[in-house]
Structure 1
């Protein structure tokens, strides 16, 4: 799991704008979000994971302990909901949630030296990926 820790700079999207559209994000917000180049910092303090997502427009910090539900929200609005984080692989954490927008999974996975943020809405059968290059550990 230590492979997940580090700072990552945005590289590219795959189906991101279409995913946002099915999640009900308005046109202008969707266009703006698809043009952002976030930086993600992942660290662990004892048994608490902290994921910081920073853009020029807004920042989001997600704090959690594995297997313990926590109050969460999407950066694009839509209210709060309970999320359960799980270690789903050797270098992978998935956040599972049932939201007003559907059953959603957000997976943070290391593939070689790249962070892949994989979003799935199982209810609407849509998914996207955002890729990030490691800047430093």
Structure 2
């Protein structure tokens, strides 16, 4: 199994602006998120809790969760109810917005980095990261 815990630096994105636009993220936060080059740090505690910390020039956000348990994420477009599961070298996060919109994030880890695929019913975007 590939190492998941670690620090990752953003390399490039595909279709991210259109993805956030379809989800209804307001213009200014959307443009700020798309222009950012986030660093993602992933850690795991002894009790099985995972911490994902995303750092940009604009803000730092951390989410703590346990696999298979519900948790909440606060995004510029609103609050999401999420659950993350693991399969092989992938983490799958399924989230639903207050309006019922469902979206997924699939985290695929390799020895060199991480790819996050964002999907909603109508659109997909990808962010690529290199292991720091």
TM-score where L is the length of structure 1: 0.86
1:108, 1:116 → 2: CA distance?
Answer: 6
The gaps in structure 1 that reach 5 residues or longer are: none
Question: Quick check: 1:8 aligned with 2:8?
Answer: yes
Correspondence for 1:126: 123
Change (3 A) 1:110 1:2: closer
| Residue pairs, 1:6-45, within 5 angstroms | 6-45=6-45
Q: How many residues align?
A: 130
Contact 1:4 1:92 in 2 (8 A): no
TM-score where L is the length of structure 2: 0.89
Change (3 A) 1:81 1:10: closer
2:30, 2:50 → 1: CA distance?
Answer: 28
The gaps in structure 2 that reach 5 residues or longer are: none
* CA distances 1:87-116 after superposition (whole Å, capped 9, x unpaired): 1x3111111122126111122211341211
Pairwise CA RMSD = 1.6
